[in-house]
Chain A
């Protein structure tokens, strides 16, 4: 008997193996369970590879995609589907920043405690900030050209519209090999492009806050300026102009002088201060950071960098946040993608002084009245800056960005048309079409 007592311990070893094995499983279960649960064959949340747990709605409560009677149902309007394709994403996860990919966990409501359980078995509903009708208007306004349109409420931060082209039908996504380049990228969030003259809004802020005598400053533009043997050129000779006129004329020569005046390190500070190199957390999605270089000892490159050329790469979303700082008191408002009614946006750090914002507003308004033509934007109190970015040999990229001041419609916008041509002439009408739609949309009105 005595021997047996000791020998029987060997049996406990098997118990130990079982306990350790189950322990490993529980550890994996807790750490990897969410991955295991989200395989497309999991019929609790997928049907034919499409998520059926949870639904996505636009800001007005229109179903964008979701579970209808156990099947994945998409927005019926095919054009609208293409317009929101990048905001929503597709079931194959082609668009990494699409809500379907980014909010899959939220829609499923996956939780280690309750698994994929939801009381109705249909998951959670998420209401996005985008408006499908405005998105569709923007998509149509781009009229098949490549580019993007972003509109957001600069008080609440809600992104009303983000359209990126070339687009696709998320209900039947093309294979990655067949899709045109850039099809699956949300350019508004993840694109970085040469900004051209819209960048002068940043240089201007640097000038206002760092060059004390800017009000008395003037410059005579002859159409070109030589720096170190090479030329900075304008589209025409603007003649004598003050600071405000230089912005309205988008005079490259004048801004090359101003950039050199404030210097490389100040410019570096301002792209940082204005959040252009920032990646915002947009309800769990991050935008791409812009990249800028200001070489202190290469005057020509510095000059070009100050007017939005050379190595400048701008992310449209971050530019929109900077516009909100100009529209307001110098604080930006962080963008949001999930709709919550009646809440104020989260503000960023102070980007520019409130007085600077006020001066910039006056200048941007002046751009419209003196250059772009108020008649082109009927009924809109619009503040804007156009841009024509030269990219290589092809047609230049047309930009038009700004905001409107309108009772109940505090919206900022940015339009980018690749290979478009001249900024205000090409991107301006797109902005007008979209913003006219915005102010005539009752549901976009904020109290």
Chain B
């Protein structure tokens, strides 16, 4: 109670002192830079609040409406609406279409719709089989199902009815009504002001360390952002909340790089460009599900080669040899492999019922663990481990299977620990939660205590970009980035950065309700899990609530590969955004709009 009163008193005293403080600004100093910093710190917070809250509000307000795509008439009396593009038919309660008939198997078959509106049935090797218009269908093969066709499952007779044109129009109308897309312009203008002001602040804060690279990079990211939005508006896309959040975090990342490594800002900017390009191409590719699935084989091969290359040619840095030196470039293959991991781990409904598909993925996962263990990259191994669990759970949902997987992966985890325990991981566990103890404070707890001291020095508002000292501590631009931001930009902006990641994730979760295919749902959930895991490990690691793992904060941490990978992961989230005309990763035709134009 006393503590809270003390805090309230402090805050009250602070507000009471504002008029005096503003007056003091001009009496205490005539240095233009100091006056600028005094005010700019507050403006940054207002701008950041505006930019992020606009996007966050818009994302959380939108509903991703579930809609009816067709009806399935079962027996004489039942008419079941099909609300997804992928449906399981069977007797089990978990089926999307449940038929209460003992002759129907628990998971009898799947009914899926493709981009062009064609429905297909696939039998899952049911006991009593199925037939279309009297003709027996082979198990595990897709058969086209036209409107009015008679589909017999065991003893149950079903007929597929399309929705009426009227209904389809209503669907589109509802979707448009449910779609809340914030106008991107105010946020973009605010972000541009933010970028310009950041450059000025960095000039003041960095003094002699300031270089032309910084100006060019901030100008570059500003132009990149505007080109991207204008280009996509030209493609009739209206939702830019996720990209705005990503551009905001990338801008902060440039600022962090500028204070920590002033000579690498341009490099960081280039990786933002590469990330945006990758994002755009992934979104475009992901629109078409068969094309996406077809690419899986390539992904497998590429990921395996990348990892092997890393294992044999990796360079050791901070205990983990997860870096590869290619000419003048250093890349972190495991970051890119994350994308492939999701790409191959996500699966459409019919794939989920093929055992071989699961087997390949599990083998691939075990291979990844092995490689990461060999590199003793503990943080990334943890992330892969959790993502594998999540993907497996999403795919099977079967707890007995999950337990087996848990056992296997736990053993894997132990192996990783064993590999690494001899070196730096053990010491990181020892200091966990005890960073302030005298024996650790300037020893293995060095990074965390310095980070927390610097963060506390920044308070809620921060000292101004370039005015901190945490940037001189090893790995501050990656592992301690949350505290660097708190020191220089204030706790509020640092918390907003975390809130942005959480929002992206919550939005991805909500879009599942209208998911078209399990592929997108699993991919989005996995990408979101990676974002959340990395943010948790990074933030909580730097403040000694978790062991320090050296995992990057998505978008925010300096590091080229990590920046590119973050934008790549965002593509999976974007692909799950089913709001009307919101997402580049969803074809306009998918939403029925294209057809409408064709027919009327």
Q: A11-B529, A26-B495 are in contact. Are A1 and B96 (CB under 8 A)?
A: yes
A37 to B35, CA, bound (A): 24
Q: Are B532 and A18 in contact (CB under 8 A)?
A: yes
Shortest Cβ distance from B535 into A: residue: A18
Shortest Cβ distance from A21 into B: residue: B540
Q: Choose from A25, A36, A114, A121 the contact partner of B539 (Cβ within 8 Å).
A: A25
A28 to B543, CA, bound (A): 10
A406 within 8 A of B: no
Q: Choose from B393, B508, B528 the contact partner of A7 (Cβ within 8 Å).
A: B393
B461 within 8 A of A: yes
A-side binding surface: helix, strand, loop or mixed?
Answer: helix
Shortest distance from the beta carbon of B540 to any chain A beta carbon, whole Å: 4
Q: How many residues of B contact A (CB 8 A)?
A: 76
A40-48, A300-308, A381-389 - interface stretch: A40-48
| 8 A Cβ contacts from B532-555 to A | 532-533, 535-536, 539-540, 543, 545-546
Shortest distance from the beta carbon of B520 to any chain A beta carbon, whole Å: 10
B498 within 8 A of A: yes
Q: Are B25 and A4 in contact (CB under 8 A)?
A: no
Q: Are B536 and A11 in contact (CB under 8 A)?
A: no
A2 within 8 A of B: yes
Q: Which residues of B contact A115 (CB under 8 A)?
A: 456-463, 487, 490
A7 to B394, CA, bound (A): 6
Q: Are A25 and B540 in contact (CB under 8 A)?
A: yes
Shortest Cβ distance from B545 into A: residue: A21
Q: Which residues of B contact A5 (CB under 8 A)?
A: 512-513, 515
| 8 A Cβ contacts from A1-31 to B | 1-12, 14-15, 17-19, 21-22, 24-26, 28-31
Q: Which residues of A contact B86 (CB under 8 A)?
A: 1
Q: Are B525 and A36 in contact (CB under 8 A)?
A: no
A112 within 8 A of B: yes
| 8 A Cβ contacts from B423-471 to A | 442, 449-450, 452-464, 467, 469
Q: Are B28 and A119 in contact (CB under 8 A)?
A: yes
Q: A8-B521, A114-B14 are in contact. Are A39 and B453 (CB under 8 A)?
A: yes
B-side binding surface: helix, strand, loop or mixed?
Answer: helix
Q: Choose from B394, B460, B533 the contact partner of A4 (Cβ within 8 Å).
A: B394
Shortest distance from the beta carbon of A69 to any chain B beta carbon, whole Å: 15
A120 within 8 A of B: yes
Q: Which residues of A contact B528 (CB under 8 A)?
A: 11
Q: Choose from A6, A14, A17, A116 the contact partner of B463 (Cβ within 8 Å).
A: A116
Q: Choose from B10, B35, B455 the contact partner of A111 (Cβ within 8 Å).
A: B10
Shortest distance from the beta carbon of B462 to any chain A beta carbon, whole Å: 7
Q: Are A11 and B521 in contact (CB under 8 A)?
A: no
Q: Which residues of B contact A114 (CB under 8 A)?
A: 14, 459-461
A15 to B533, CA, bound (A): 8
B259 within 8 A of A: no
Shortest distance from the beta carbon of B139 to any chain A beta carbon, whole Å: 21
Q: Are A44 and B463 in contact (CB under 8 A)?
A: yes
Q: A4-B522, A21-B540, A113-B14 are in contact. Are A120 and B512 (CB under 8 A)?
A: no
Q: Are B7 and A31 in contact (CB under 8 A)?
A: yes
Q: A14-B532, A30-B7, A120-B29 are in contact. Are A8 and B457 (CB under 8 A)?
A: no
A115 to B452, CA, bound (A): 12
Q: A18-B502, A25-B543, A26-B491 are in contact. Are A11 and B525 (CB under 8 A)?
A: yes
A33 within 8 A of B: yes
Interface string of B20-57 (1 = CB under 8 A from A): 00001100110100110110010000000000000000
B216 within 8 A of A: no
Q: Which residues of A contact B498 (CB under 8 A)?
A: 18, 22
A276 to B454, CA, bound (A): 45
B87 within 8 A of A: yes
Shortest distance from the beta carbon of A94 to any chain B beta carbon, whole Å: 19
Q: A1-B86, A21-B545, A22-B498 are in contact. Are A36 and B456 (CB under 8 A)?
A: yes
A265 to B84, CA, bound (A): 91
A285 within 8 A of B: no
Q: Which residues of A contact B456 (CB under 8 A)?
A: 29, 32-34, 36-37, 115
Q: Are A19 and B502 in contact (CB under 8 A)?
A: yes
Interface string of B491-520 (1 = CB under 8 A from A): 100010010011001101100110100100
Q: Are B532 and A22 in contact (CB under 8 A)?
A: no
B95 within 8 A of A: yes
Shortest Cβ distance from A35 into B: residue: B456
Q: Are B463 and A113 in contact (CB under 8 A)?
A: no
Shortest distance from the beta carbon of B465 to any chain A beta carbon, whole Å: 13
Name 17 interchain pairs, CB-CB below 8 A, sorted by A: A1-B87, A1-B515, A2-B95, A7-B397, A10-B394, A12-B509, A19-B502, A25-B543, A33-B455, A37-B453, A41-B442, A44-B463, A111-B14, A114-B14, A115-B459, A115-B462, A120-B28
